[in-house]
Structure 1
Amino acid sequence: MRVAAFFLLSLMATSICLASDSWTEFRGPTGNGHAADSQPAISWSETENVTWKVPIHDKGWSSPVILGNQIWITTATEDGHKLYAICIDRETGEQLHDLLIFEVESPEPVPAENSYASPTSAIEEGRVYVHYGTYGTACIDTETGTILWKRQNLKCEHEAGPNSSPMLLGEMLIMNVDGRDVQYVIALDKKTGDTIWKTDRSVDFSSIGAYQRKAYSMPIHISFDGNEQLVSPGGRAIISYDPSTGKELWKILHRGWSIAPRPVFGNDLVYAVMDHDHPELWAIRPDGRGDVTDSHIEWKLTKGIPARSSPLLIDELLFFVDRKGIASCVDAVSGESLGKARLDGNHSASPVYADGRIYFFNETGKATVVKASSDLEVIAENELTNDILMASPAIAGDSLFVRTAGSLYRIDPPTEK
């Protein structure tokens, strides 16, 4: 009861309206890829509408997080021995901090398509929380660059490297830890890094191969029927928890693992991707208790589902793009297919939505801007210098922030340049 009261009071204290000029975690302040009231550029190139472009050393696929005049990203040496956090001045592109956060003696091998700095940070006034999976989590004073606390005991065997990002909720920093060896969700006191609660996954993994136990997604926070829930995808199950205590509320069992997309919520349904190699999209009613696998799945889609990119929900329309670049729009209530479009290239980054438009980025830096309607009408196609792009973009104010393998861009509408 004391923990629950602590959670409710802290949530009330931080329940302020987040401005549209911030991007505070993976997929933005509301965790769903929406940029309220923003009007980003429609067209750009290396020589058009780029306010600044700055080099970023080493390698990382984390997205930028933005608050006030600061942009924070993480990066790491390609061998994983050194893990960094970088702060960029939003207006000028000047580097404010370049901090070595952790040194790792024996990092696990990571495939070329991933990095040791793939999880996106979380930021709030005065503090940024950086996370490198099994290699460590840290809280940094955003003004001085001082490291306020560190945790390096949240260990797991990722197999393919870290990916799951942390999220802030009230006074807690919450993250999934889903490795080959251990699988749990944990809430830390954001002021100290101490554990508030930790809940092991309730899946029986005894007859399941180790590689089928891991996952790379992150939770979402939802309010439904007067109750708060933390909905968290993992290997072989998606599970809902009471965010104040970590108590399990309901679960849906599935056959998948290595899940990366973050779920979205709306229309009284949770939309979640199951599996990486053969992804499916399930619409789940979040009003159950216990194992609701046989009773609370509203519909399923099995074709054209993203293995990496997260879905985008706009009212009763659900948009997504699969790895091969097939963009889809479906009726979010019924699951009925409404439209498809072929986009160039492979896609890993999650799309963002602003001003009636959806921005899709492929893995070579080409962006396709489409109308947020079922016909997926293409408005513009834009290319930056041919560079790898795996990080999802961020929007703050009317600026679009795009990270490629070697650079961070600020892109603005012509009137703001």
Structure 2
Amino acid sequence: MRSTAAVLLVTVFTVTSFASNWPEFRGPSGDGQAGDADLPVAIDDSVVKWKTPIHGKGWSSPVVWGEQIWLTTATEDGTKMSVLCVDRKSGAIVHDKVLMENESPAFCHPMNSYATPTPVIEAGRVYIHFGSYLTACLDTANAEVIWKREDLECDHHRGPASSPILHDGKLFIAYDGYDVQYVVALDKETGETVWKKERQIDYGTNDGDRMKAYCTGHVITVNGQEQLVYPSAVATIAYDPSGGDTLWTVYHEGMNASARPLYGDGLVFITNGMGSMVAVRPDGKGDVTGTHIEWSGRKSVAKKSSQLLVDGLLYMNSDDGVVTARDPRTGDVVWQERAGGSFAASPIYAGGRIYAFSTEGDILTIKPGQDYQELAKTKLGDGFMASPAVVDDQLILRSKSHLYLIER
């Protein structure tokens, strides 16, 4: 009886811990999946529990640990970069701290912000990233800086956007800039460099504008071996996360890629930032371009937002307002629907429904399946660039100016 009770206790604790935290960009599994979270079907003012104004301009997504929500922001001109902690119960701002001041920050495209990279959080610590300007580890109890790095150089050319990820004691970050391109692993305890690998990619040009990218990596396991998959301009490289050795490389053209790669059904799905994508079998070695691309596609492929894999279909919302479902095995389009507007935020799946959030503030709720089934289309706030977070049965949305908590 004692053994059974212990197993039940561990099971309950594990499920609760998973449901109560959204630790990084696109959630605990990095793929926009929120399990059986029971969210409202229609998202509008009637289901807003609280709404908190967020100063400045920032497209970073909220991350959540327990009752704390963390996000970053910056002045529109980039002269001040800040981190905020918001109480999940009340929406009150607990911490609002300027982490860096810049007299003359580099240019940032108006579509981007100086606070676009999403933080990573774990028990007691939150890792904040402003691209080459600053990477810092903070104590979540008091927002005090534990360590920081300001020496990882890169000309982002259009502003920073790649988010860090945390795995096996290391913080992984890509710096795919106009001038240099590399991936680095930092010791999460000290911030010291564990390994740094220059991108071994033939870009086919000396034009730095065509060599930059803004992707977030993803750790997957293939045949018992971990792989750190990191898209860049022109190509994607899978590294051994322990030491940074290259496992495989696939060339797919493109530049400005920003979507997080998705892994499912034995394939890695990669969009290239220029409206096309590939599905790659990740069990190869070396240059797998000619051997392991299962399919490629161009029709209504999202340039900014990441994809979603639900019940055997691959979903995406594109920059030109088109929602698409594909067969992940072949790339064939199952259905397409013009929803209108434009999408930059990545969709989520929760409780049997898919939610998509437009830059104009439209929120689309659809039922996954072989046919397009719209359950609701509502409007909230002034538009969404950041991707959402889901904890328990609550939806946390960051609009261009506010943070919302949505609940039935």
Under a length normalisation based on structure 2, what TM-score does the superposition of the two structures give?
0.95
Alpha-carbon spacing, 1:242–1:18, altered in 2? closer, same or farther (3 Å): farther
Q: CA deviation at 1:140?
A: 0.5
What is the distance in 2 between the residues matched to 1:405 and 1:311? 22
Amino acid in the other structure paired with 1:404: S
Amino acid in the other structure paired with 1:55: P
Is structure 2 residue 390 aligned with structure 1 residue 395? yes
What is the distance in 2 between the residues matched to 1:39 and 1:324? 29
Conservation of the 8 A alpha-carbon contact between 1:266 and 1:315: no
SS at match of 1:100: strand
Q: CA deviation at 1:45?
A: 2.0
What is the distance in 2 between the residues matched to 1:223 and 1:343? 35
The aligned residue for residue 53 of structure 2 is: 55
Amino acid in the other structure paired with 1:131: H
Alpha-carbon spacing, 1:17–1:32, altered in 2? closer, same or farther (3 Å): farther
Runs of 4+ residues over 6 Å off in structure 1: none
SS at match of 1:134: coil
The aligned residue for residue 128 of structure 2 is: 130
SS at match of 2:209: helix
Pick aligned residue for 1:289 from 285, 288, 297: 285
Is structure 2 residue 148 aligned with structure 1 residue 150? yes
Conservation of the 8 A alpha-carbon contact between 1:109 and 1:161: yes
The aligned residue for residue 36 of structure 2 is: 37
Is structure 2 residue 321 aligned with structure 1 residue 325? yes
SS at match of 1:348: coil
SS at match of 2:248: strand
The aligned residue for residue 366 of structure 2 is: 370
The aligned residue for residue 10 of structure 1 is: none
**CA shift digits 1:236-267 (9 cap, x unpaired):** 11000000000001001132111011110011
Under a length normalisation based on structure 1, what TM-score does the superposition of the two structures give?
0.93
Amino acid in the other structure paired with 1:343: A
Conservation of the 8 A alpha-carbon contact between 2:203 and 2:233: no
Pick aligned residue for 1:352 from 348, 352, 358: 348
Alpha-carbon spacing, 1:87–1:323, altered in 2? closer, same or farther (3 Å): same
The aligned residue for residue 264 of structure 1 is: 262
Gaps of 5+ in 2: 1-13
Conservation of the 8 A alpha-carbon contact between 2:252 and 2:278: no
Gaps of 5+ in 1: 1-14
Q: CA deviation at 1:381?
A: 1.1
The aligned residue for residue 89 of structure 1 is: 87
The aligned residue for residue 298 of structure 1 is: 294
Q: CA deviation at 1:153?
A: 1.0
Conservation of the 8 A alpha-carbon contact between 2:36 and 2:352: no
SS at match of 2:319: coil
Q: CA deviation at 1:376?
A: 2.5
SS at match of 1:133: coil
Q: CA deviation at 1:208?
A: 3.3
Conservation of the 8 A alpha-carbon contact between 2:345 and 2:358: yes
Conservation of the 8 A alpha-carbon contact between 2:394 and 2:407: yes
The aligned residue for residue 310 of structure 2 is: 314
Pick aligned residue for 2:182 from 184, 195, 198: 184
Conservation of the 8 A alpha-carbon contact between 1:18 and 1:29: no
Aligned-residue CA RMSD (Å): 1.4
Q: CA deviation at 1:17?
A: 8.8
What is the distance in 1 between the residues matched to 2:205 and 2:54? 44
Alpha-carbon spacing, 1:182–1:16, altered in 2? closer, same or farther (3 Å): farther
Q: CA deviation at 1:205?
A: 4.2
